[in-house]
C-alpha cells in the first residue's frame, strides 16, 4: 500500500509528527509511540524521490522515534526522586514548542493581512492648539508655596 506524500504539505519533521498526532486524535502528552512511529516510517518510505537534504531531517526524527520506542520496551528508568522517566517527555516538549510557534506564526500572518487592509491617518493637531500656552501668573503660582 503506497502512500502519496507531498512534502510541501509539511514544513519539517515536527510538522509531520504533529499532523500524525492530530490525525489520530490523541493527547500530545500520551503519544502512542508504536502507532505514530509506524505511520511516520510509512511517510518517510514514500519520500524516496525527494531531496536527500530534506529527507535526512525526517530520517533523524524517525531514528528518534525508534529510539523512544526501544526505551519504552525496556524497564522504566527512575530519577533521584523515584519517579519514572518518560522517554517521550523531551519529544513532547519539542512538539508543544513547535505547535506554539506555528500558532503564533498564523496569528502574525492574520495580523499582517488585516494591517494590509487598514489605512492609517497621521495625527493632525491644529496650529492654534499646538501653539497654545496656558496663562500662568507667576505670583499666584509662588503664593501657594510655603517656603518654611
Which residues are within 8 A (CB) of 60 and not within 5 positions of it... i.e. 6 or more apart? Answer: 13
pLDDT level of residue 135 (50, 70, 90 thresholds): confident
Report the predicted TM-score, pTM, of the whole model to 2 decimal places.
0.54
Under a CB-based contact definition with an 8 Å cutoff, are residues 5 and 43 in contact? yes
pLDDT at 108 (0 to 100):
93
- Residue 78: phi, psi to the nearest 5? -125, 145
- pLDDT tens digit string along 69-88? 888 788 887 878 878 878 77
Beta bridge partners of 84: 78
Amino acid at each position: 500500500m503506497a502512500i502519496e506524500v507531498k512534502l510541501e504539505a509539511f514544513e519539517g519533521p515536527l510538522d509531520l509528527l504533529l499532523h500524525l498526532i492530530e490525525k489520530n486524535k490523541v493527547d500530545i502528552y500520551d503519544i502512542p509511540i508504536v502507532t505514530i512511529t509506524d505511520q511516520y516510517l510509512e511517510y518517510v518510505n514514500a519520500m524516496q524521490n525527494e531531496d536527500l537534504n530534506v529527507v535526512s531531517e525526517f530520517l533523524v526524527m524517525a531514528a528518534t522515534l525508534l529510539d523512544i520506542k526501544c526505551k519504552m520496551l525496556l524497564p522504566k528508568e527512575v530519577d533521584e526522586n523515584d519517579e519514572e522517566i518518560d522517554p517521550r517527555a523531551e519529544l513532547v516538549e519539542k512538539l508543544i514548542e513547535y505547535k506554539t510557534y506555528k500558532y503564533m506564526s498564523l496569528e502574525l500572518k492574520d495580523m499582517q493581512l488585516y494591517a494590509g487592509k487598514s489605512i492609517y491617518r497621521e495625527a493632525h493637531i491644529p496650529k492654534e492648539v499646538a501653539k497654545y500656552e496656558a496663562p500662568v501668573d507667576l505670583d499666584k503660582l509662588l503664593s501657594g508655596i510655603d517656603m518654611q
